[in-house]
């Protein structure tokens, strides 16, 4: 095989397994200013200093934040989820995760409509936020039985809430998978599969994991259909980029 052809256009991703290992870079604090969008950078020589946006990373509800800024915010939310796992006290950790869950869901409720209006611009932000929700609620479901007092709710109540959240986020991923499989319209500049970020396979597999471990017998037909949609979307994604489609 030609060495050039074998390496061109490939990306290698590595999951961090040792969460206590310090990173080379440090995520910015909430008051840090969001990065400027490319369209703003292109006009810096004609814009007045007062017209250049100065929005902090933590301001999730700020209007007129572009895809790059939203991706930065989603990345910081995911980082906060991982950081919360370091909290030893279970009640304090659950309260942190509960607050993050609210923030992430609020973030998605704002960014998903933005993505519909500007196709492809917010895909990375949406998928990173989805990844954060899967990570957050799986962590709660992995907690061993114990007495908790956070929000005056037993751990079983936290389990139920996490299962419901996973149901919701799984349906969002299925909707995305269906759009990925839909034929591209004549006026579509970018094919849907081209807009899918590198994190898409992770989210599709996460949705498959939730479906395959579901005990909801009454939804058996829907679950079977959803399983097929997700697997086909992964096949389409990997076929597009010419990589192995071993999604199992």
Evaluate if residue 147 carries a pLDDT over 70: yes
Q: With the CA atoms of 195, 123, 142 and 161 taken in that order, what torsion angle do they form, in degrees rounded to the nearest 10?
A: -130
pLDDT of 35 reads: 75
Q: Out of 5-19, 65-79, 99-113, which region has the weakest mean confidence (pLDDT)?
A: 5-19
Evaluate if residue 8 carries a pLDDT over 50: no
Contacts of 78 (CB under 8 A, 6+ apart): 128, 129, 131, 132, 135
Evaluate if residue 91 carries a pLDDT over 90: yes
Average pLDDT, the chain: 82
Rounded to two decimals, the pTM is: 0.82
Q: How confident is the model at residue 4 (pLDDT cuts 50, 70, 90)?
A: very low
Q: How confident is the model at residue 9 (pLDDT cuts 50, 70, 90)?
A: very low
| Cα distance between residue 78 and residue 204, in whole Å | 17
- 199 compared with 1, residue with greater pLDDT: 199
Q: How confident is the model at residue 216 (pLDDT cuts 50, 70, 90)?
A: low
pLDDT of 28 reads: 66
| Tens digit of each residue's pLDDT (9 = 90 or more) over 27-42 | 666 578 887 767 666 6
């Amino acid at each position: 095989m030609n060495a050039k052809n074998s390496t061109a256009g490939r990306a290698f991703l590595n999951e961090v397994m040792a969460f206590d290992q310090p990173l080379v870079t440090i995520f910015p604090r909430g008051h840090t200013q969001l990065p400027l969008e490319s369209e703003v950078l292109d006009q810096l020589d004609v814009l007045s200093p007062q017209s250049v946006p100065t929005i902090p990373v933590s301001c999730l509800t700020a209007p007129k934040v572009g895809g790059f800024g939203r991706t930065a915010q989603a990345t910081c939310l995911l980082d906060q989820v991982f950081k919360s796992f370091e909290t030893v006290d279970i009640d304090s950790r659950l309260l942190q995760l509960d607050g993050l869950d609210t923030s992430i869901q609020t973030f998605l409720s704002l960014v998903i409509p933005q993505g519909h209006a500007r196709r492809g611009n917010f895909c990375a932000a949406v998928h990173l936020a989805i990844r954060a929700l899967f990570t957050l609620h799986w962590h709660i479901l992995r907690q061993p039985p114990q007495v908790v007092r956070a929000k005056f709710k037993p751990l079983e109540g936290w389990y139920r809430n996490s299962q419901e959240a996973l149901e919701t986020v799984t349906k969002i991923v299925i909707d995305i998978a269906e759009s990925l499989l839909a034929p591209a319209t004549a006026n579509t500049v970018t094919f849907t599969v081209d807009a899918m970020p590198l994190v898409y396979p992770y989210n599709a597999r996460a949705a498959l994991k939730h479906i395959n471990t579901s005990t909801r017998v009454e939804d058996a037909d829907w679950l079977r259909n959803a399983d097929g949609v997700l697997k086909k979307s992964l096949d389409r994604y990997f076929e597009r980029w010419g990589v192995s489609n071993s999604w199992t």
